[in-house]
Amino acid sequence: MIHRFKAAVAAFSNPSLVKTTKKNFRSLQNRISALESLSRIDGSLASALDEMDTGFKKKPNRWERISKIADQALAQGGVASGVMLEIGGRRNPRNQHFSNFKYFALDLKESTNNGVQVEIGDITDCPHIPDNTYDFVFSVDVFEHINKPWLAGKEITRILKPGGLTVHSTLFAWRYHPCPGDYFRYTPEGLAGLFPDLDLIHKSFDYTERRRNMIGTGSSEVKQDVIGGWRENVRVNYAGKKPS
């Protein structure tokens, strides 16, 4: 493996072989340095790190895990159809999965590239949305980016119809990734605590990707050491129902 990375650096150092950037070249150099250090430590640890890099791929992917929790919560809560709001659905809307629902998205910016209409708004303060509007409110990887999540919890509760359901998947442990901001991490109890007026349907940790090597890009890129960049990745899931 070390020889392959050295060959890659040699190629990147020669513009006639391949186009590159200083950032890519620096990333490869860091990885080579880490691998060379790794070659000097116990072989069993090296094998364990290799397994960490690939083991999570043998399990259901992230969306399969999240959507299963959402589907089970909807079934348990008796919410099969209606009007749905996805918070932060601008770039990767989940409208196709929830095809039984009339889909709306709320985000800080609009988008015309994904085939869905996105309303501009802040979930911590959205007075333009009437009370009791949605049967289902959903988000993935949003709550860590909300600077006042307790206000988001109140607004979601307000705009849910009586008997409506909300499902959220966010982070307990993950590298810093401001897009545009990165503010909080949650335990299952902490996430559920944002919705004190809802009946608990589900709360859980998800350790599937715990030891995956997450390096990041741009301003959130993590400098690698002998065991990689970032290897503490744990998700949190929550589902709650508004009393009828």
**What pLDDT sits at residue 41?**
55
- Are the C-beta atoms of residues 171 and 196 closer than 8 Å to each other? no
Looking at domain 60-241, does it have CATH number 3.30.1490.20? Answer: no
Exposure string over 63-102, b if 16+ CB within 10 A, otherwise e: eebbbebbeebbeebebeeeebbbbbbbeebbbeebeebe
The full set of domain ranges for the chain reads: 2-57, 60-241
**What pLDDT sits at residue 36?**
61
Q: What is the pLDDT along the chain (244 residues), one digit of tens a residue?
A: 444 444 444 544 454 444 555 556 666 666 666 666 555 556 777 788 888 888 899 999 999 999 999 999 999 999 999 999 999 987 889 999 999 999 999 998 876 667 787 889 999 999 999 999 999 999 999 999 999 999 999 999 999 999 999 999 999 999 999 988 999 999 999 999 999 999 999 999 999 999 999 988 888 888 888 888 999 999 999 999 999 9
